[in-house]
Amino acid sequence: MTCPSCDAVRSSGPLGDASVLIVGNPNVGKSTLFNALTGSHQRAVNAPGTTLELTVGTWRLGGEAVGVADLPGTFSLDARSVDERAVADALDGADPHAVAVVVLDATALSRSLYLLAQVIGTGRPVVAALTMLDVARDRGLTIDARTLSRAVGVPVVTIDPRKRPGAAELAEPVSRALAAPRPTERARRAGPFAEADVVRWFAWVEGVMAQLPPEPPRRVTPSDRIDRVLLHPWVGVPVFLAVMWGLFEMCTRAAGPLISAIAAFAGGPVARAVSSGLGALGVGGGWFEGLLIDGVLTGLGVVLSFLPLLALVFTALGILDGSGYLSRAAVVADRAMRVIGLDGRAVLPLMIGFGCNVPAIEATRVLPHARQRLVAGLLVPYTSCSARLTVYLLLAAAFFPGSAGTVIFGLYLTSIVLVAVGGLAFRKFVGGKGEPERESLVLVLPPYQWPDLRTLWHSIAERLRGFVREAGVVIVIALVAMWALAAIPVRGGYALADVPIADSAFGVGARAAAPALAPLGLGDWHVAAALASGFVAKEVAVGALAETYAVDGQGRAPALTASLKETLSNTSRGHPRAAALAFMVFALAYTPCLATVAQMRRALGRRWTTIGIGVQLVVAWVLGALVFQVGRLL
């Protein structure tokens, strides 16, 4: 292929090197086509000024590398959401010579043609790719690509990216479009549009459809028959709950042994190997070894331990989405989620959050609007993940031995109430232009099908790389900082990294923060240190308590329980049960683990993550104080 302008297409911005922009409605095969064109040569970038991820890659076209961008699914360029605005901005900001490949759904051609009309209106080169022909044939629809091409005035090729590469069909028309003379004028801006434009486009779509064979009466498809069952309230709801239960079980049980095994491997054989290697080099046993093993290696262990869980959740979400069930689940759950200003699709990340908050934050990406993703991302930390259960078990067994199960059940109910109340509050304060909170749920229900394994694999791999690349760096840096605080002696004349925790910067800081917990009946540095450690991982809070009390060995559990009872009896002035309840409520509501915070920053941005953390701390403190102050009066 000869493409004299390919080098000149480069421009500033994350999509500046994209010579091909893939545009289309949701669920028409855009991402499958993108993966077929680019293979593994992909990377995720953020749309300018947003946390919305776009995927760009490289297509080997005629021996040359051509940049390709997979834009979010949209029905129109007259955008009402951040996702739709990102598509319009990409078309506005790309080089005028960049080719827009508009993917058309043969089963809903008129809807796809409306978007095609708007893209053609920008004045840039356009190639149309007609997909879903097999599903259309099952419904009795026959569409001839040549006839459609003459009607719309742009090249139209038929592709099936699920069964064939798709690159061969698109190569020739895209190559011609790229090699065509550069437009003398810059492409026209994509929106906002006047009413006259909309009327003209609808008339154009009607004119195109009039040139095609009339659609036969709609046939009842296998998907229609399945939907009669899965969308029926008496069957669909139990099936939906069973699917959600399966996701929850996977987060809490299936991934648990893998997470523990990786953490144990990093803290055992790998740590010993690093220690032996440093000893052989003559630099072992000092602060440098502590930094590498307790700081960097521990941080890497935390990052790697989450990968199996994330991979399982991403696989499950990919299968649900690729099979077509995810849209049905949203319809079934929509009425319940409307109560908190979200639609049915938000139930997925919230349910996953009860297993682990980290993949739940990532799962908010299935939501269509930026406001919904933001609200759901702010609510996920209030879902009580399985890691918090270790704190509940310790305190409930120690202070409520006869009713520990009831107390823990009450905490999970409290978590649900916090999500509901938080949703009602956030929907008032988190605005979204053009995204009314009562907007009806409008979904395209794709036909049931087997997920495309290649697309699923690329999606999982890219998301895992993104977690390691972005959230992983934050986790490692923060854990190194935590190690430094615990290693720096503040008093007692100890050496660096050889200091009791009470005399370290971490211990002294915990003593300084303890008075803030006094209204909760928890004004002791042991508790403050445990809660601070819980910021790294909630299950670490129990270990931190044992460390601050210098409890170890076979009698660890009874000794820790006795020490904790004595502490809370003193700090609560004789009301330890009320203080224990306040401790558990605070652990439920305050800032989630460091991995979740890193994922929030990646998904929501620094500003909203900071706001979310601030709100969580305030809510946790107020609830904890309320529980203690009321509890001590009972």
Q: Each residue of 102-151: pLDDT tens digit?
A: 999 888 888 889 999 988 888 888 999 998 887 777 777 788 888 888 98
pLDDT in tens, 196-252: 778 888 899 899 888 887 777 767 778 888 888 888 878 888 888 888 778 767 766
pLDDT at 572: 93
The angle that helices 404-429 and 576-589 make with each other, rounded to 10 degrees, is 40
Beta-carbon contacts of residue 142 (< 8 Å; ≥ 6 apart): 136, 213
How far is 503 from 545, CA to CA, in rounded Å?
15
How far is 589 from 555, CA to CA, in rounded Å?
31
Angle at 623 between CA 619 and CA 627, to 5 degrees: 175
> How do 99-105 and 126-131 pair as beta strands?
parallel
Residue labelled with tokens 């009413």: 195
How far is 211 from 205, CA to CA, in rounded Å?
10
DSSP states along 384-439: --TTHHHHHHHHHHHH-TTSHHHHHHHHHHHHHHHHHHHHHHHHHHS--TT--TT-
pLDDT at 87 over 70: yes
> Of the spans 146-160, 388-402, 477-491, 569-583, which averages the highest pLDDT?
569-583
pLDDT at 343 over 50: yes
Q: Collapsing DSSP states into helix, strand and coil, what is residue 137?
A: helix
Q: How far is CA 615 from the centre of its chain?
A: 20
> Of the spans 41-55, 273-287, 477-491, 609-623, which averages the highest pLDDT?
609-623
Q: What's the whole-number mean pLDDT along residues 360-372?
A: 80
Please, are residues 465 and 457 in contact by the beta-carbon 8 Å criterion?
no
Burial (CB < 10 A; 0-12, 13-18, 19+), residue 206, is exposed
For the chain, the average pLDDT equals 80
Domain ranges of the chain: 7-219, 231-435, 467-631
Residue labelled with tokens 């054989």: 269
Q: Collapsing DSSP states into helix, strand and coil, what is residue 12?
A: coil
Q: Phi and psi of 199, rounded to 5°? A: -60, -40
Please, are residues 104 and 113 in contact by the beta-carbon 8 Å criterion?
yes
CA distances from 588 to 61, 101, 375, 403, 577 (A): 53, 48, 19, 19, 17
How far is 368 from 440, CA to CA, in rounded Å?
13
pLDDT in tens, 427-454: 777 754 444 444 556 666 777 878 877 7
pLDDT at 4 over 50: no
pLDDT at 265 over 60: yes
pLDDT at 5: 32
The sign of the CA dihedral 134, 137, 141, 146 is positive
Please, are residues 101 and 30 in contact by the beta-carbon 8 Å criterion?
no
Q: Record the tokens describing residue 533, joined without a space.
A: 């450690």
Grade residue 44 by pLDDT with cuts at 50, 70 and 90.
low
Q: Record the tokens describing residue 196, joined without a space.
A: 């006259």
Grade residue 473 by pLDDT with cuts at 50, 70 and 90.
confident
Residue labelled with tokens 């931190």: 544
> Of the spans 205-219, 308-322, 425-439, 562-576, which averages the highest pLDDT?
562-576
Burial (CB < 10 A; 0-12, 13-18, 19+), residue 362, is buried
Element spanning 502, H or E: none
Residue labelled with tokens 């933001």: 374
pLDDT in tens, 8-34: 333 334 455 678 889 988 878 787 788
pLDDT at 617 over 90: yes
The sign of the CA dihedral 529, 532, 533, 538 is positive
How far is 255 from 362, CA to CA, in rounded Å?
16
Instruction: Identify the CA nearest to 331 among candidates 319, 316, 347.
Output: 347
Count CA atoms within 13 Å of residue 66 on its CB side: 30
Which value, in Å, is the radius of gyration of the alpha carbons in the chain? Answer: 28
Grade residue 538 by pLDDT with cuts at 50, 70 and 90.
confident
Please, are residues 592 and 358 in contact by the beta-carbon 8 Å criterion?
no
Q: What's the whole-number mean pLDDT along residues 378-402?
A: 88
How far is 201 from 196, CA to CA, in rounded Å?
9
Please, are residues 85 and 434 in contact by the beta-carbon 8 Å criterion?
no
CA distances from 299 to 116, 164, 402, 468, 482 (A): 48, 43, 38, 11, 10
* Fold of domain 7-219: Rossmann fold (3.40.50)
Angle at 310 between CA 309 and CA 311, to 5 degrees: 90
Q: What's the whole-number mean pLDDT along residues 472-479?
A: 79
Q: How far is CA 410 from the centre of its chain?
A: 28
Grade residue 571 by pLDDT with cuts at 50, 70 and 90.
very high
